[in-house]
Structure 1
């Protein structure tokens, strides 16, 4: 907007700007009142959560009294979480007070209009200078992230201690319920890269930081509640409640080779030591020695095939006091050693691509196998259980040798070939008649590996394009690469019915090729 030359018009414009500013101030007052209303609401919610957390800690201490030596780590962890929460909230309170003190403190409680409100509630400079651009903003972000990690560390330190049943699944669920964090969503809302603290606090009135700070405290108290509830559940999780018994047989191998012994550990599916008192275990009617609820069973194997045995477990139910017997049949299979090696896609290894290979040895663990390769520049890398990837570099013969696990050394031969010649095409055609419009729409020549099972791509290195207009002399263009060069494009653009185009000396290079190879030529007649 240009500055008017007439004093009267200049005065009118200035009055308009002043009026606009006054309207903006009125809107800001309403928003600022909303900030303090939200702040008071979150504060009330925080007080409720804090009281609930104190009750949860008391309940945990009470539940832990059933076996204090066992559950003492849970109680100590809960107290540590409470300390972390209080320290974090004290830090937030001190940061809020720092900003208020820097802007003149609070209005007195008996003030007619702004009782208890900070005097600098509209001040944007202090939030920008201290939080948006100052070190305190970065420190706040670091405090939030570190406090979250410390909450998780309290649980991780319990791993392996008596009275806890920590696993990856339950820990992942707990991590999701800890809301204290710095989200990355704000990065998608800015046009240019800025820091989190700049995005959150830059040019924000002091009043707006009150609900933000209170929200951080709410996140910490909610996260504290999640961890405390998790710890309380650990007491329930480790308290055994007998309601069912299932015989269990645990064998190192369910498939054994003829002549080898079959071994299995047999027990009952219960976790209370009281279950193991007066327990007896029988296999096919013969009693076994039981120690701590576990009996070892061993028998010789001879013929191949599926074998079975019956388990009878007799015990006193600690809930009812009644003697009960549980029975179940178990099976295992006896086989003989053998090995096969197969290329997963073809009985050939191709140069320039990864050739998947499966190695299966009946009766031998894949961890005990030794697999090696030779010939054809063969290199083998393991890609999983019984899976390998073979790469080759020279045409001829290659060999894979398998041994180990009691298996005699066995070799398997494979042919090594180059990738087959690709087919040159314009769109879907390798020659013949083509419509004028379709021909002109092509951008160049492509090389296609038809009916080839591997994920490989060949590139066109170049070709000679010969244009023979109807009843005129031919014109040639030497075209490097797949796409038409300028001259080739001009020749293609002149196509009309009756003209003939020759694509000769077409060169392509496929993965593993040291030099280009000549592939099929093409002839098109324009219709």
Structure 2
């Protein structure tokens, strides 16, 4: 039984953990911070790979110097180019990481290595998928092109060797058959919280370094005719998910990440239970029920192929069991208003929009679907309304919101704001009274039902006229035309009816002195 040959396998224990489904919409701060722990672990793995690559490069140089011939020099240069390409790509991704860090608000107060806005999903969607203002597309599409280009250039350095291609981790994986995503960038980054994107980028960087290792090992074989041998070992795990839903099966591949080409008499156990091994890999499976963080200990016994000494390596691993989560987002305000369309967006982690059922109750509520995951809500009675999400394995999840009338509009003369002392000509140019909704995001208009105009001329009795509707009737217009400097006009008992109102509401009075 042989030990894995490529040093890239030193970090496979984290490769899939970075791609886990820890992206429920309402996860804890501890889970969010765990993404940065994963990213830090990936960085440590990259450092190990870089040191290993340096050792391989030293051996390539020794062989090429000892046996000077054109073919050896060719593969020496190919190895150098592979390292340069990987470093150039690594710096490119570092630039994207810095850009994302800055867009997420820069260093947080609690930890300068973690940005402030780690939960934000709009930042990542715009930056990686939709594109910022003035951009045709997000940077995720550029990353995809660069990954493909780097993989092609790396394989060209190995004469497109099929064995190297099979072990080179840097690649654009195909989209799952049942996904509704249309692109790799969309699948990877849309609606991902900022915290999750850092380990995703870190994995891509790790894959680039590991791919350079594959090229270097190929070049070493060509110049030396043998593989480099290592003498250090480390347990590793490859899990499709680190966060699973209660009732799902947790699976993980456990194997020996080694610094040697051969390892005999390997035995692997988890929490004392021995696991069968096939091709150096043991598969661990366990059913999940209760939620929370689960820990298990991996023990690997291995015989050193150089000394014959048997050593034991142990390491603890964790995964988290959670429950499906759902959210309802009110697109305009965190309250439903009577008489207008209230747009909402609904979603649930692990549940497609086709499987998600949306229902509503209370406050005379009704729902109208106007797109995938989007609805318009109408309500008729003040109080509370409840939106319930279910389906696709999600238990009924309720969200309760306040229901209110549209706020009172502001009464204005001619739909404009005037000082209480108004020029005579300006006053006579107005045609009525308006009810204006200020700082209200909904498409709603309130209609003036009526008011009373009282005209006070100096040293004369008050004259009153009643007006129905917003515009001045002929009697009121006659009073308006009489205006002279020093006269006072009172617009009393202004009433208006807004969408959803059964009766007109009182808005107050207006007073103007003619100058």
Q: State TM-score, norm by structure 2.
A: 0.40
Q: Computing the radius of gyration over CA atoms, which structure comes out larger, 1 or 2?
A: 1
Query: TM (normalized to structure 1)?
Result: 0.39
Question: Structure with the greater relative contact order (CA < 8 A, sep ≥ 6): 1 or 2?
Answer: 2
